[in-house]
Structure 1
């Protein structure tokens, strides 16, 4: 790990609060930056839900280790702001709130969602980076698709550098704007996800069941009683880009395989196709600290995405987390990761997806030398893509850009 003095101040304009139930790239990078001696400010999104969470228990979230937690001023829902024509005025107030007293130290803003576009228009900084994590429609509800797309395009024009999470997303961005675009994919805490998996066996290690996460007690009790049953699992938010119908069809086609599905529904009813299927276990919301223990109970990790622009641009965190735990990864769409040796099985047709899951589960159960070698390959892949490595890549980009003088000082007057 490089030791960096306080050469610049980083404001991470995040898509979700720091203590969100699903881990975020912005939080992982903020933690890594702070460990390297930088002043890092994690700015929660100015959404009513985030603000309510903060005002209910403000004493809990002022600082997380070395990361400063910044909460913008309360703001009404976006559709009210638009109707009352208050978007720009509220954004100017938010910008004053998030601007640090840097004492002459260069101020770098990393915006991770188009939601921050009106705010960065008023926020002075020396370098603005748009960390583009997904297709912009990931962040929006159906009623706000148009404004999020406009904000995405404007943020691309305003940014000095754009960081794309995948090569496919980078190509789209280069076609849309003339800004510098670099690729920096997602990562993983390889130690956390590998610690609970037994390398000699695909099953969970002895310390696994010591977890006290209430959401997992019932599942762990079942898993302990049925240790020989093959398990395919999915962990993540159940949203419109997750092919729940494919999951349901695969579970019905493979009654001898158990399917664990963990994560919240973004919209009520999205998980309805899974109801009533006997070999499907709906675990629901799980704290991120318990996710490594949950994945350790799987034999196969699933990425059941729908074909579309969101999936085509994605670099799923779960690829790295499943691999770090040594699990086989079966995905329903082609992914363009920045590592050609990514240990993925791509199966696009429903029948092919079910066959791939069955084959991976059988290989894990057999514990053959070939499967052991494949497990080591997955773990090695994850070790090349840690959050520490991603942070080094990000910081090199920032330091080189500032050092080379390629970006003039920015201020709110820039159009």
Structure 2
């Protein structure tokens, strides 16, 4: 396999996530070219889309270019869940489908759908690919409601049953696709090459700083933050774009900072004593394996997380501490104190990085 067509759930010009790491790994492993297809609307529009357009907390990222990668936008009307919409959008896809076909005919080509869509189904039916895969990195139907949810469930079932390989990023997703013979666990990982060397890690500041870096969305557990803020002598730092603000005033020891670059995020995390993953327990988060867990542990930080998704399984690993919804104030304080005392040595951090790099994770799939 020396070519890749990747249908991404996120734009190329966005914060680097699993899709970006997949195509970078593919190119490094094969020296092949990549055709990256930016996402298009796969649900009906709603009022929240207008709020996102007016939200100014996002800082546009500078465009990134690679000589081995070409990014293609998709012209489409936001009508995909409506029966018969494929015929309308297929008319707009004529040039796109022609370019994908010409690209895939040059050499052995792997098609990867990073998200179910009518376009993915079209390519699976009529494309000329040597191999196909679905990288299930989220419970996509859980993001939607109404007819959009129903349509996504149907599209996902069609895609899952028509690819040769199905990668699932969490145990819950593997179980959900248990009826698909090709389903295989391929959890998230960490861009270890972007981190300071283990020998250069500065050590914890010992200032009782509990920190989180990432998007603050509807899944963010503000109740957990308030519980932690009641602990003696702790300071909580929250860094990232905010789409779901707290309902009331926050304690004075909770500080909120805007979105920053990845390099700035790493620097900020080096100033934490504990890395936080405060997510609610919902249908959506039940399938989540947070990349933040891998970043925190690869920096030697203990992790304090709510009881959700793949974190329930990561709780068996050293340095991971789980706070449950019904934990009382004494239990919360004891848990924080235990996490603050936890120290990871250099060998533990080095071994963790080797086992949980993106290259190690994707190599295990044997896709190329």
Tell me which residue corresponds to 2:260: 286
For structure 2, the residue ranges without an aligned partner over 5 or more in a row are: 54-61
User: Alignment RMSD, CA only?
Assistant: 3.1
Distance 1:99 1:274 in 2: 54
Helix, strand or coil at the partner of 1:69: strand
Aligned mates of 1:82, 1:392 — CA distance in 2: 35
1:123 Cα offset (Å): 5.0
Q: 1:357 aligns with which of 328, 333, 336?
A: 336
Q: In 2, distance between residues paired with 1:112 and 1:274? A: 37
Counterpart in 1 of 2:322?
346
| Matched residue, 2:72 | 71
Which among 279, 286, 303 is matched to residue 312 of structure 1? 286
* 2:354–2:360 CA contact under 8 A, matched in 1: no
- 1:194 is displaced (CA, Å) by 3.6
State TM-score, norm by structure 1.
Answer: 0.72
Aligned CA distance change for structure 1 residues 238 and 45 (closer, same or farther; 3 Å): same
Following the alignment from structure 2 to structure 1, what is the Cα–Cα distance between the partners of residues 112 and 221? 31
User: Does the C-alpha gap of structure 1 residues 132 and 353 become closer, same or farther in structure 2, counting only changes over 3 Å?
Assistant: farther
Contact 1:200 1:372 in 2 (8 A): no
Q: CA deviation at 1:302?
A: 1.0
Cα distance in 2 between the residues matched to 1:72 and 1:301: 36
8 Å CA contact retained: 1:14, 1:42: yes
Does 286-295 or 98-107 show the bigger shift? Answer: 98-107
Provide the C-alpha distance between the structure 2 equivalents of 1:187 and 1:129, rounded to a whole number of angstroms. 19
Q: What residue in structure 2 maps to residue 29 of structure 1?
A: 22
Pick from 93, 107, 113 the counterpart of residue 105 of structure 1.
107
2:360 aligned residue: 389
More helix per residue: 1
Shift of 1:171: 1.4
* TM-superposed deviation, 1:280: 1.2
Q: Is the 8 A contact 1:41 1:68 kept in 2?
A: yes
**Structure 1 residues 326-384: Cα deviation after superposition (integer angstroms, max 9, x where no partner):** 100111115355896464212213434454234323x26xxxxxx253x7524532331
Classify 1:249/1:337 alpha carbon distance in 2 versus 1 (closer, same or farther; 3 Å): closer
Runs of 5+ unmatched residues, structure 1: 1-6, 53-59, 204-227, 365-370, 400-415
Counterparts of 1:231-242 in structure 2 under 5 Å? 231-242=209-220
Give the Cα separation in 2 of the matches to 1:337 and 1:98: 40
Aligned residues: 340
- Separation in 2, partners of 1:292, 1:97: 39
8 Å CA contact retained: 2:177, 2:183: yes
Corresponding residue for residue 212 of structure 1: none
